[in-house]
Amino acid sequence: MLERYLPILQWLRVYNRSTFTSDLVAALIVTIMLIPQSLAYALLAGLPAEVGLYASILPLVAYAIFGTSRTLAVGPVAVVSLMTAAAVGNLALQGTAEYLAAATALAFISGGILILMGLMRLGILANFLSHPVISGFITASGIIIAASQLKHILGVDASGHNLLDILLALGSKLNQINLPTLVIGVTATAFLFWVRKQLKPMLINFGMGERLADIVAKAGPVLAVVATTVATWGLSLDEQGVKVVGTVPTGLPGLHLPSFDADLWQQLFVSALLISVVGFVESVSVAQTLAAKRRQRISPDQELIGLGASNVASAASGGFPVTGGFSRSVVNFDAGAETPAAGAFTAVGIAIATLVLTPLIFFLPKATLAATIIVAVLSLVDLSALKRTWNYSRSDFAAMLATIVLTLVEGVELGIIAGVGLSVLLYLYRTSKPHSAIVGRVPGTQHFRNVDRFDVETCKRVLTLRVDESLYFANARYLEDRIYDLVAKQPELEHLVLMCPAVNLIDASALESLEAINQRLQDSGVRFHLSEVKGPVMDKLKLTHFLDELTGEVFLSQYDAWQTLSKAEQVKAVATTS
């Protein structure tokens, strides 16, 4: 029980020098990558740059203790930072103490929600976020994030919580573009795109080892930070209107409790819930993918606790909501991390940077951090998924498109809520009209197939209807109407068999419909039979009076039903039509 809630006890007892070396090397690489990302994502959330560093220390230690993934790297991420800005921006002005207090409280509430869900083993709830909805949400969020950073690239003041507001604000400030800032921003963005695509192959062609080339390529943002910081300092570009990070407090964050204002918590709760679910889905999908590559496994319920503890730790150290990041986790995995200790070592590296390096980033242009964000989030934008989803499922396409459009037009919270709501409604619509087929026996076999697809044997006095969906309140009446319609068209019918190989559930509403069908068919002189009913479904039916009142029989297999009911009947072949 103790190891279940403290996974660190599982891997710590087999920890050795070789594992330590691998984790240390991975931590060094991730630290180099995480420093500029942490600063950038804090600014994206509307917070001082140092808060990004604070959110990258204790949360990593907490996840190392409570998390189950060996390679997941926890910290600030783009989508959660955007959601934080959207949630807190409605309550306080950026740059104020109230804004920071609200962001910290948001992390604490989110952490509490995640821990509670983990203790209640509710990791399965994340399955209600379908992949098309998540894909659409991340794509739209990536576009909004990239657009929101254009103000730093252009050197103007413009804000907005949706794409339309941002573009209108930018359009009204085009006459105020700061040329030095524009040069830095465009150059840094182009350089980072080039590093992401071209630097590693070029270094390998020059004879550098693949792993070392990969490390150098991943350090591209650091090179951009150093170069633009030196240029801004040397040329005094801050005096020409280039906005810089400015003074960053030196030292580790103090521990403190977040605000427990009831009104604030009430205003933040829905946003915290959405951040918790979205962050968990993003994190656990990355963790499962990486774990599968090493034939390892994670526990989704314990991951909820691990991420919850990370967010509580972030709140306690003055940070904002965090989750597992895709790019950092992949780098951590590729760098050879073997245990969550790599995250703890990364936290030590960030702590050292907070103590030593913060004076050096005074002249770091915000345009460089904006370029870092733009390059990172545009890799998440996948508009081609719309075409793929359209070709496969029109309903999933509708959910994805609605999520993208509403996120872009109305903001992140309404977009994700609408996407989830539409997914549930479309699921109810699809299952409200379950696929069903009249089936007959494939000649010479014990197999039964759709009469419209195969040459099968049927009997004019026996009709078998196979239903390919569980029966519940949304589709019970549809099944009734389907059966009544079939019986009305066949006056010679004496037996109707409901074949149930795909029925995993019959709820109370569906049970009432089956009772009504049984009574209606009895009044019509037709016996009602069931076949291939699954054990758990049969166990539930045995608790009712339905089986006692059933006019027909319950057959173990459809072949048994066929032999029993059609023994004296003449069979005929039905030609396929498709």
Per-residue tokens: 557: 């297999």
pLDDT at 569: 54
The 10 Å Cβ neighbour count of residue 517 is 21
Give dist(CA 309, CA 324) in Å, integer.
Answer: 13
Give dist(CA 20, CA 53) in Å, integer.
Answer: 24
Per-residue tokens: 435: 């696929």
* pLDDT, tens digit, 9 for 90 and up, residues 376-389: 888 888 889 899 99
pLDDT at 568: 45
* pLDDT, tens digit, 9 for 90 and up, residues 305-364: 999 999 999 999 999 999 998 888 888 888 788 999 999 999 999 999 999 888 888 999
Q: Strand, coil or helix: what is 530?
A: strand
* pLDDT, tens digit, 9 for 90 and up, residues 76-125: 998 899 999 989 988 888 888 999 999 999 999 999 999 999 999 887 77
Give dist(CA 467, CA 556) in Å, integer.
Answer: 16
Mean pLDDT, range 23-47, rounded to an integer: 89
pLDDT at 575: 40
Give dist(CA 575, CA 578) in Å, integer.
Answer: 9
pLDDT at 472: 94
* pLDDT, tens digit, 9 for 90 and up, residues 42-57: 999 999 989 999 999 9
pTM as predicted:
0.81
* pLDDT, tens digit, 9 for 90 and up, residues 126-185: 666 778 888 888 899 889 989 999 999 999 988 877 888 899 999 999 999 999 999 999
Question: Burial of 313 by CB count in 10 Å (0-12 exposed, 13-18 middle, 19+ buried)?
Answer: buried
Asked if residue 233 has pLDDT above 90, the reply is yes
Q: Strand, coil or helix: what is 172?
A: coil
pLDDT at 3: 76
Give dist(CA 75, CA 60) in Å, integer.
Answer: 7
Q: Strand pairing partners for 531? A: 499, 555
* φ and ψ at residue 440, rounded to 5 degrees: -140, 170
* pLDDT, tens digit, 9 for 90 and up, residues 505-551: 999 999 999 999 999 999 999 999 999 999 999 999 999 999 999 99
Write the DSSP symbol of residue 496. E
Query: Distances from the Cα of 37 to the Cαs of 40, 76, 255, 574, in angstroms?
Result: 5, 8, 23, 67
Give dist(CA 196, CA 102) in Å, integer.
Answer: 35
Query: Distances from the Cα of 463 to the Cαs of 467, 482, 515, 518, 555, in angstroms?
Result: 13, 13, 19, 15, 14
pLDDT at 576: 42
Selected residue with higher pLDDT from 212 and 168: 168
Selected residue with higher pLDDT from 502 and 421: 502
CB 515 within 8 A of CB 550: no
Model confidence band, residue 574 (pLDDT cutoffs 50, 70, 90):
very low
Asked if residue 572 has pLDDT above 60, the reply is no
